[in-house]
Structure 1
Amino acid sequence: MTFLYELLITPFVDFAFMQRALAGGLLLAASACPIGVFLMLRRMSLTGDAMAHAILPGAAAGFLLFGLQIIPMTLGGMAAGVVVALVSGAVARFTIQKEDSSLAAFYLISLALGVMLVSLRGSSVDLLHVLFGTVLALNNDALVLIGLVNLVTVSMLAIFWRALVAECMDPLFFRSVSGLGTPVHFVFLTLVVLNLVGGFQALGTLLSVGLMVLPAAAARFWTVRVLPMCFLAAGFGAISCVAGLLLSYHGSLPSGPSIILSAGTIYLVSIVIGTRGALNMRLRRVRYS
């Protein structure tokens, strides 16, 4: 028992930076993972990756003007992400180009522009900070930001839940019977940007989408219902944060990649032993053959 306590509990009891990292990770998991479920159900998982890169030039502009200050980088990233989401969505809806193509174009432009802006003032260390984050360096301001993102996300999911589910299941039918189709779509993209901006503080622009998508993808191997899938994804995300932080602490490994690799491990295990995973699907085929 003493060994387990020192292994699992002591790091979070003795060190304030581990407590802040854990709080930030759990808040992110509770908001970003349900958004990841809707991304996956909409077959927009790669869209999340594109949006993660889209916030980079705004964050880089904040860094260029004010250095590594949380408020300017956050506001810049949010503005850039919302602009790219709205513009790419408008291009997809009002031109012949599909949304994945427009997002890919904007994401490549954003990535190149963001890296160039960071390079104008910062060093390679600053670039790594922007791209991969520093979850162990979260301060109180970052926790307040992540908490606000969590509050807004949970509130908007509660308000637009039925509309979001309906648009996921049959977007064409939903738009034909309701005028909320386009507004709900843009609300959803805004929530994606908000959670990526929140995740950017902890995991950087390149890894923040991992906490959003991997637990959601794992949850799909366990249930077909949307609400349980969201709760399960949030639980997987929380487990990934705890496991990744402990792995980082005891193994002297980078914290962000440790969290994402923990989520990846849960995903790989779910592929095999989930109730809708490969093993159970194989057993069902054998049973009914």
Structure 2
Amino acid sequence: MVEFLISPFSEFEFMQRALVGVIAIALGGGPVGVFLMLRRMSLTGDAMAHAILPGAAVGYLIAGLSLPAMTIGGLIAGVIVAVAAGLVSRLTNLKEDASLAAFYLLSLALGVTIVSLRGSNVDLLHVLFGTVLALDDQTLLLLASISTITVLALALLYRPLVLECVDPTFLRSVSRSGTPVHLVFVGLVVLNLVGGFHALGTLLAVGMMMLPAAAARFWTNDITVMMVVSIAVGIVSGIGGLLLSFHAELPAGPAIILTAGGLYGLSLALGREGGLLWLAWPGKHLEA
């Protein structure tokens, strides 16, 4: 059993790099996913994951599989779509979720078209599903930087973010920080999605944000503990998915997300805060 769990990471450098990458993604994406969930913005995260695709595709068209070009392109595209969706929702009768849906569908179609103009099917699969088993030093440094920036920013903005989750009206009545904090938070979402894009692709990057956060919600009501549990679930999902990919010869990105989905299902069934088992058999014998 020890050899089954340890040998892939001790013997193969690409597995070690993938492990570092998924840990970095979990450290940044887990807390961001918790706030997305508590702010009822889960589908916004999915929309933004698709929104970065055309920018990354333009970077690819200009410079090939260049990390700086695709990163900068993805960041620009994500910010443009977020701002455009917000403006449409404020200037028209269309709600923000509907405008985001429209923009992300257009972004996905445009991004796939741009990649197809120059690249092969392999390049398209790289953009859509990532290459977590082929992370280089430059990409690992980017992922580590993003997770560091995210943790520091959330530490500074923790109180207003929590207040906005609990009572946004009260926050607006006592402070003008609501809008700036929201914009910074959206920037962190885009930043983490761009980082996750390089490892898991545009279709799966949001999975390492939302599935661990949703699983953590079934174990605690405390936001700080929820973020810690979300990070832990993300790390376990990354390790389990990489091992599943290695031993079962499955694609690594989907294996990681499937593992996260399995942990979500386990939390849904057994979680102390609204899990199905605790709802089906309430009583003192199940109380803490």
Please, what TM-score do these two structures have when normalized by structure 2?
0.96
Give the corresponding residue for 1:134: 131
Q: 1:199 to 1:264 in 2, by over 3 A?
A: same
Q: Secondary structure at the match of 1:222?
A: coil
Aligned length: 285
Matched AA of 1:69: S
- Structure 2 distance, partners of 1:229, 1:141, is 31
Cα RMSD, aligned residues only: 1.4
Q: How far does residue 285 in structure 1 lie from its aligned partner after superposition?
A: 5.9
Q: How far does residue 108 in structure 1 lie from its aligned partner after superposition?
A: 1.1
Q: 1:101-120, aligned counterparts within 5 Å?
A: 101-120=98-117
Kept in 2, the 8 Å contact 1:240–1:259? The answer is yes
Give the corresponding residue for 1:273: 270
Corresponding position: 1:145 with 2:169: no
Q: 1:83-94, aligned counterparts within 5 Å?
A: 83-94=80-91
Matched AA of 1:194: L
Q: 1:176-187, aligned counterparts within 5 Å?
A: 176-187=173-184
Give the corresponding residue for 1:283: 281
Kept in 2, the 8 Å contact 1:86–1:186? The answer is no
Q: 1:197-276, aligned counterparts within 5 Å?
A: 197-276=194-273
Corresponding position: 1:11 with 2:15: no
Kept in 2, the 8 Å contact 1:50–1:107? The answer is yes
**1:54 maps to which of 51, 61, 64:** 51
Task: Render the CA deviation track for 1:100-142: whole Å, top value 9, x for unaligned.
Answer: 1111111111111101100110111111110000100000000
**Where in structure 1 are there 5+ consecutive unaligned residues?**
none
**1:175 maps to which of 149, 172, 177:** 172
Corresponding position: 1:159 with 2:156: yes
**2:42 maps to which of 42, 45, 68:** 45
Please, what TM-score do these two structures have when normalized by structure 1?
0.96
- Structure 1 distance, partners of 2:20, 2:88, is 38
**Where in structure 2 are there 5+ consecutive unaligned residues?**
none
**1:96 maps to which of 76, 81, 93:** 93
Q: 1:38 to 1:266 in 2, by over 3 A?
A: same
Counting aligned pairs with the same residue, the percent is 60
Give the corresponding residue for 1:63: 60
Matched AA of 2:28: S
- Structure 2 distance, partners of 1:49, 1:32, is 13
Kept in 2, the 8 Å contact 1:33–1:234? The answer is yes
Matched AA of 1:123: S
Kept in 2, the 8 Å contact 1:85–1:190? The answer is no
- Structure 1 distance, partners of 2:88, 2:161, is 21
